[in-house]
Amino acid sequence: MRLLEERILTDGKVRPGGVLKVDGFLNHQMDMDLFQVLAGQWYQAFQNDGVNKILTIEASGIGLACFAGVAFHCPVLFAKKTKTKNIDGSVYTTRVESFTHGNIYDVIVAKEYLRAEDRVLLIDDFLANGAALDGLCDLVRQAGATLVGAGIAVEKCFQPGGERLRAQGLRIESLARIRSMTDEGGIEFEP
Amino acid sequence: MRLLEERILTDGKVRPGGVLKVDGFLNHQMDMDLFQVLAGQWYQAFQNDGVNKILTIEASGIGLACFAGVAFHCPVLFAKKTKTKNIDGSVYTTRVESFTHGNIYDVIVAKEYLRAEDRVLLIDDFLANGAALDGLCDLVRQAGATLVGAGIAVEKCFQPGGERLRAQGLRIESLARIRSMTDEGGIEFEP
């Protein structure tokens, strides 16, 4: 998707080690106009799939997921990274290993908000190794819900998550697909 | 605000120890229609104050803040709870003690996204002891930006945060103001 690719080229910064910094518009400071356009793209892709729930993971997926929730006019659920006092015992739990943070954590969703009759679209800002998506897929599976697919803003196609998850049958709509990045700051997109 | 109060009475649950569970519509599963109405209320309250940046804190403030960002047509910035690989060194840091989670953590914003010329509206889901708002106020102060006020969804008026922060001169617009809760599940709102 050209708008997002151009924005990445303009405002994104490549850091050594395959890190793409897009915190000026995507995952720290967030551009609401851009988010609305991205959500519209996911709506185009999945509008006929009966999506009735958006599922994301805290924190940087939440903003994008909200705009998807408006587009599909359905509730948005975000998986939480720790068990808080505000959540009762009845939760689905899965384990996620974060590439960005270099750690492992549990994420939970309350069982009452993820039901067997739900048709779930996953939303996240990045797809790289696919650990977050793995976790979200697992939560949907535990609930016995239907996994419609995943809407991703930026996919790093040189990391294995996208290929692996598509091979497992997950439909993924990534709006900017990065083929390669160089430590000198170069970014090449998939055609 | 009646719509939110009624929703709290219908779908909220009171847990012992002054915990109000609203995770069916506010801070786990999120109701986008409701969020749009809440943001509209904050817009009414602060529309003439030149707000050009929304600041919130991860994770449960992000969804509400995004709708405020649409209403005010400005970028939304969320303070992050840990320093990630994706953020460079140049950040403002403050310390927050979480009532909900019972712990203390640092939050950061990148200096380049919070500037002296910004007129900042804070957004969060809850105001109780005011620790999160304290932290956000401190970040705005460090940046030399103008603090316009705070838009809160649910204020627990029987906890000291709101009174203390208003006494410091912060303008706070809370959309549901809870006067008292009982362990039996009763909720009384401020008139």
ipTM: 0.94
Burial class of residue A103, CB neighbours in 10 A (0-12, 13-18, 19+): exposed
The CA angle B3-B6-B11, to the nearest 5 degrees, is: 120
The shortest CB-CB distance from A28 to any of B24, B78, B101 is to B78
Q: Sort out which chain A residues have CB atoms less than 8 A from B17's CB and list them.
A: 85
How much is the pLDDT for B9?
97
Q: What digits encode the pLDDT tens for the residues A115-133?
A: 999 999 999 999 999 999 9
A63 lies within 8 A of chain B by CB? yes
Under 8 Å CB pairs connecting chains A and B tally to 136
Q: Sort out which chain B residues have CB atoms less than 8 A from A101's CB and list them.
A: 82, 84-85
Residues forming beta bridges with residue B121, ordered by sequence position: B54, B149
CA distance to partner chain A, nearest, from residue B90 (Å): 13
Which of B20, B62, B129 to substitute to test the interface with A, most A CBs within 10 Å? B62
Contact A32 B62 (CB under 8 A): no
Helix (H, G, I), strand (E, B) or coil at B91: strand
The shortest CB-CB distance from B78 to any of A59, A69, A85 is to A59
What is the Cα–Cα distance from A73 to B34, expressed in whole angstroms? 12
Q: How far is CA A172 from CA B23, B79, B165, in A?
A: 28, 29, 46
Q: What digits encode the pLDDT tens for the residues B47-75?
A: 999 999 999 999 999 999 999 999 999 99
Q: Which amino acid makes up residue B102? A: G
How much is the pLDDT for A146?
98
A77 lies within 8 A of chain B by CB? yes
Q: Write the CB contacts of B106 (distance below 8 Å, at least 6 apart in sequence).
A: B81, B82, B83, B93, B94, B95, B96
Q: How many helices (H) and strands (E) does chain A have?
A: 5, 11
What is the Cα–Cα distance from B130 to A33, expressed in whole angstroms? 31
pLDDT (tens place) for every residue of chain A, 191 residues total: 999 999 999 999 998 888 899 999 999 999 999 999 999 999 999 999 999 999 999 999 999 999 999 999 999 999 998 755 445 578 999 999 876 667 888 999 999 999 999 999 999 999 999 999 999 999 999 999 999 999 999 999 999 999 999 999 999 999 999 999 998 889 999 98
> If you average pLDDT over each of A53-57, B16-20, B89-93, which comes out highest?
A53-57
At B49, list the tokens: 């104050």
CA distance to partner chain A, nearest, from residue B23 (Å): 8
Q: Sort out which chain B residues have CB atoms less than 8 A from A153's CB and list them.
A: none
